Structure 1
Amino acid sequence: MDDPYKLHATAMPLEQRRAALTALAGKIRSGGTELGWQVTWNVDYGDFTWLIGGHINNIGDPFDDNEFSSETKAVERAVLDYFAELWGIPPPHDPQDRNSYWGFLLTMGASEGNIYGLWNARDYFLGKDLLLPEHSSGDGVEPREPVLLYSVESHYSVGKTAHVLLLETPADVGARRYPGQCPIEGEWPQGVPATGGGSGPGTIDVHALRALVEFFAARHHPVIVVLNAGTTFKGACDDIAAVNEILAECYSATTGPSWQTRPGNGGRPDRRSWYWIHVDGALGAAYLPFFAMAPERADLESGIPVPAFDFAVPGVCSMVVSAHKWIGSPWPGGVYLTRNRYRMRPPPFPEYVGSADTMLAGSRNGQTAVVMWDFLARNSYETQTTEAVTALRLARYTEAKLTALQHNSDHVPDLWVGRSPWSLSIRFRRPAQDIVDEFGLSGMRVQVQGADRAYVHLYIMRDTPRDRIDALIRRLAEPGAF
């Protein structure tokens, strides 16, 4: 069959072009039936047709106005203030306060924020110039190269970012400097093992992490630790507060709580931490704060505390969230936040732009700021708390229905049903392909005790209807569903 979208040197006939666009529009509109993806589908963007009626470009730093007038930086700053307060750094942004927040809205989604956060962390530990250094007197411990620690359950963008930035993992540093000395079982790992392996909840194994951190701290390697507020497949939330305590203990015992470096800031020694926690909260960082606001939260997860994940945890240096997942956006986007104390000195001021070049990209999407601002303007904390609690209850309902199905049907096999605490993701045995296609489930193979299991998962989002879940359960109960 001919490709209806194939382009040629000659212009496409009008009717052919319209037919191709009509078919494409139908495909896009059908997306709301898919359960396996972290996307809020049913959002009315009817008020925003003007957003694609002209060019909108938030070029340069959000806190620097420039001469390019078709921008939405004032709205962007309002969104950043909102998330700074939600995540534990009271606004407004103060460029001279080392503890004040700074950030920007992402164009590529949370993956862009992961790249930026790890880039910033790498340069921080390589002794490059800080924007607001804390000068110190006296000699400090001279550090070795930083080591990147991230869970095997982390998003694939983290491993890709390590490759792009030439950041070394335990497998890299261990093979080069410390062959045969891995403090955990087996060879030096690329990623930190997950609790309980493939059948576990998907959280980082804090015991394995401690062993690795102790090893590298004793040898004066700083560590960059990526933790998750909602992993991609299982929706797991790492115990970020516990990891912060481990890092503080390990480095206090071997190096003292801080070190001074000479290479940065004109040769003057400055005070820097030994560790950097970056939180990938692509999905969870948008709704986890509201679980803590729910009056009935003690009953939501059988007494399991709502995980601490934000800047209230002292070691957290940077965080990201996506716009197109829980909140909902017609295109990828998100938020990156850090503190001024961790920012590196930017490149020389590009005069023709009229704004500091402080981010990964120069030109940035200004539309996301408007979509996020409108959602936050329309939805109070109370409304968002209700939506988050409703979604969690539906996730628990789905988990219970799947568990009952495998126990009450003679022809349904063990479904391997799993849901991690505070997660909106439910995982189970992969059904027949027609069911996967009908309900838009997302699949992944997982090693469990040496066996290769084919799983799918579904996500409960703000707009997931219960009748869609019930329809899936009915299909799974049919003969031949697996």
Structure 2
Amino acid sequence: MTTKESPSQAAPEFPFGATGETWLSILESEGLADGQPAYVTSPLKEPKEVYPPEPGIDAADFELQPRGLPPERRKKALDAMATYLINKRDHMLGYQFNQDTDGAQLDLSRFLDCHVNNMGDPFDHGGYKPNTRAAERAVLDYYAALWKGKWPHNPKDPESYWGYMISMGSTEANLYAMWNARDYLAGKALLKPKTKDDSLHFVQAAPPKDNPNALIPIAFYSQDTHYSFGKAMRVLGIENFYAAAKNRYPNDDCPLGGEWPTEVPSKPSSKKGLDDGPGEIDIDKLVPLVSFFVEKGHPILISLNFGSTFKGAHDDVELVCKHLLPIFDKKGLVERELEIIKGKPEVRRGFWIHVDGALGAGYGPFMRMASEKPEVFGWTPEAELPAFDFGLKVHAKKLGKDIDMVSSISMSGHKWPGAPWPCGVYMTKVKYQLAPPAEVQVIGAKDTTFAGSRNGFSPLVMWDHLAQFSYKDQVERIRVAQEMAQYLERRLKELKAPVSLNVARTPGSLSVRFRRPNARICAKWSLSSVGQNVHAFAMPSTTREKIDELIFDLQASDAFTITKKPPIVELEEILAAVEAVELAPGAISWGAVAFTGRGME
């Protein structure tokens, strides 16, 4: 039996919202508190005194009341939010989010009068007709061409691309990629035309008798990888190599010598004691770690970064593939037989390479165009980016043929080219598609996506941008952004400061790192920090005027204060803490996932 809160049991009275009235008096004015048990609970404290403040916003203006807000107060609150957001937009440097949305709202605001939902597979008809699938498919084709995929999508061609536009940022695409990779490598049934026995969609192969590890994938990603991968490992129950080493092979030595690293090390810094390494994965460390688990019979799941980390680095995807394919080829992971239906073995590979191109996959193809055709585009980039897409092939000597290496790619549309809200693209190939968890008749389409209901506005925003800018325009946008990054780096190095600013930038990156200034400056420019460093991203919305204003702020006498080292948990401390914990019988460790750094503080 449930009870309602009576007025006498309500929280102590205090002013609530912008009018200064109490919650109880507001209820009474609406006839909702007349001595009888109340229909709702009362606040225990004034929310704006509890929640973290946002300088420039009076939270009381936004506190919602049972009677709603009068038009003038609603307008006042919205005007305040608009002023706040415009100010923050004009001073955004710390995150790789493009603030220039090209005035899309002028043409697209009319669509806000419609509920637009692209639920289900973008290549199905779907029962819900207020959708933007036509625009979504056009955007997907656009990026399939840039990423050297086979298009348009053809469900009968295993080499054809398949993908969809995500409603979140690349975190959703990365999570979906890891889910797809986990189940593909674990021998789950692939997406195929319907058979008479639909139950076959939800089965899994048994591991070969001579290899019990054949369907247990092991994940690898670098220490500079976005923190969402640690989260994905937890959500999906995928073992990274550190957890697998500790739980499955506790008596085996690390092939790198010493203690097992929790993540694949990145290339080291050039100067001792400084975190000025380029941010790329250390291939010399990756190869022996992968080899160890290949020898144990495991399939391999690798995620590589392309311009998307704190340092904006581009992993050399092509070189990684050239080093690893001979290992996969030798151990039969390029083509291996799995048997789900008795007597009908199917061939699929035992490795999956995902590219987190949240930022770089958006501009990388245009930098490649400029590098290959400077006479056409009038610009030669300072760094030639490595191949990262579906066109990347490596020759397998044992099989005697070229092998396509990349299984999936993710990209954030709000980073590049730019959108007013998080969105992006996930793309793979038909041959890697898994049978969906459910056949949903009510939506009239296969539920092959992560979320089911999907934002139908993002495809319109992305389509509208791509319709306005040619390839040459896109090359010009990345040229200007690269120029702004170089300009910011130069201005920071010229700045006179009481402490070393440790200015660093990886060639070809849009990220410039330097010593963390005071909290006031970090808040003004939304600077993301890791340890004692922050980074600024030169996006298409970055101008010389913004950079000059930042430099002016950094010239203040109190811009940089010498403080004690912030309480960051170093790798050695993490390992020591993990080793010191005595697990209960039967308990296992899922690995030490970083909880500071990479902008997580």
1:68 Cα shift?
1.6
Using the alignment, how far apart are the partners of 1:309 and 1:340 within structure 2? Answer: 19
Using the alignment, how far apart are the partners of 2:87 and 2:412 within structure 1? Answer: 22
Amino acid at match of 2:137: R
Name the CA shift for 1:73/1:250 in 2 (closer, same or farther; >3 Å): same
1:79 Cα shift?
0.5
1:416 Cα shift?
0.7
Using the alignment, how far apart are the partners of 2:481 and 2:61 within structure 1? Answer: 40
Using the alignment, how far apart are the partners of 2:424 and 2:379 within structure 1? Answer: 30
> Residue 110 of structure 1 aligns with which residue?
170
Q: RCO greater where, 1 or 2, for CA within 8 Å and sep 6 or more?
A: 1
1:193 Cα shift?
1.0
- Any residues of structure 2 matched to 1:388-467 within 5 Å, and which? 388-405=478-495, 409=496, 411-445=497-531, 454-467=532-545
Using the alignment, how far apart are the partners of 2:461 and 2:379 within structure 1? Answer: 33
Please tell me whether residue 151 in structure 1 is matched to residue 208 in structure 2. no
> Residue 95 of structure 1 aligns with which residue?
155
Amino acid at match of 1:471: E
Contact 2:294 2:331 in 1 (8 A): yes
> Residue 97 of structure 2 aligns with which residue?
39
- Describe the superposition over 1:336-388 as per-residue Cα deviations: whole angstroms up to 9, x where unpaired: 11000111122343112111111111110010000000111110000000111
1:256 Cα shift?
5.6
> Residue 548 of structure 2 aligns with which residue?
470
Using the alignment, how far apart are the partners of 1:392 and 1:11 within structure 2? Answer: 48
> Residue 274 of structure 1 aligns with which residue?
350
Contact 1:58 1:364 in 2 (8 A): yes
Contact 1:398 1:469 in 2 (8 A): yes
Amino acid at match of 1:67: G
Secondary structure of the residue that 1:394 maps to in structure 2? Answer: helix
Pick from 229, 253, 256: which aligns with 1:181? 253
Using the alignment, how far apart are the partners of 1:404 and 1:9 within structure 2? Answer: 56
Aligned sequence identity (%): 42
Using the alignment, how far apart are the partners of 2:538 and 2:284 within structure 1? Answer: 31
Using the alignment, how far apart are the partners of 1:8 and 1:431 within structure 2? Answer: 40
Using the alignment, how far apart are the partners of 1:60 and 1:430 within structure 2? Answer: 44
> Residue 188 of structure 2 aligns with which residue?
128
Contact 1:128 1:265 in 2 (8 A): no
> Residue 390 of structure 2 aligns with which residue?
311
1:422 Cα shift?
1.3
Using the alignment, how far apart are the partners of 2:264 and 2:504 within structure 1? Answer: 21
Contact 1:287 1:326 in 2 (8 A): yes
> 5+ residue gaps in structure 2?
1-45, 49-59, 194-207, 270-274, 393-403, 561-601
Using the alignment, how far apart are the partners of 1:361 and 1:320 within structure 2? Answer: 16
Contact 2:94 2:536 in 1 (8 A): yes
- Describe the superposition over 1:255-290 as per-residue Cα deviations: whole angstroms up to 9, x where unpaired: 36321112x356732111121011111111100111
Contact 2:165 2:424 in 1 (8 A): yes
- Describe the superposition over 1:119-144 as per-residue Cα deviations: whole angstroms up to 9, x where unpaired: 000000111111259xxxxx897414
1:185 Cα shift?
3.7
Using the alignment, how far apart are the partners of 1:141 and 1:402 within structure 2? Answer: 59
Amino acid at match of 1:188: W
Q: Which stretch shifts more, 28-37 or 109-118? A: 28-37
Pick from 85, 95, 100: which aligns with 1:28? 85
Name the CA shift for 1:377/1:266 in 2 (closer, same or farther; >3 Å): farther
> 5+ residue gaps in structure 1?
134-138, 446-453
Using the alignment, how far apart are the partners of 2:334 and 2:357 within structure 1? Answer: 27
Name the CA shift for 1:259/1:200 in 2 (closer, same or farther; >3 Å): same
Contact 2:333 2:349 in 1 (8 A): no
Amino acid at match of 1:423: S
Secondary structure of the residue that 2:487 maps to in structure 1? Answer: helix
> Residue 232 of structure 2 aligns with which residue?
161
> Residue 75 of structure 1 aligns with which residue?
135
> Residue 300 of structure 1 aligns with which residue?
381
TM-score (norm 2): 0.74
Q: Which stretch shifts more, 346-355 or 203-212? A: 346-355
Contact 1:317 1:339 in 2 (8 A): yes
TM-score (norm 1): 0.91
1:473 Cα shift?
2.1
> Residue 172 of structure 1 aligns with which residue?
243
> Residue 58 of structure 1 aligns with which residue?
118
Secondary structure of the residue that 2:61 maps to in structure 1? Answer: coil
1:4 Cα shift?
2.8
Report how many aligned residue pairs link the two structures.
Answer: 462
Contact 1:220 1:255 in 2 (8 A): no
Secondary structure of the residue that 1:19 maps to in structure 2? Answer: helix
> Residue 383 of structure 1 aligns with which residue?
473
Please tell me whether residue 234 in structure 1 is matched to residue 326 in structure 2. no
- Describe the superposition over 1:136-188 as per-residue Cα deviations: whole angstroms up to 9, x where unpaired: xxx89741411010111111111101100000011211111111422124433
Using the alignment, how far apart are the partners of 1:47 and 1:442 within structure 2? Answer: 33
> Residue 30 of structure 2 aligns with which residue?
none
Contact 2:116 2:455 in 1 (8 A): yes
1:308 Cα shift?
1.1
Using the alignment, how far apart are the partners of 2:296 and 2:492 within structure 1? Answer: 49
Name the CA shift for 1:442/1:121 in 2 (closer, same or farther; >3 Å): same
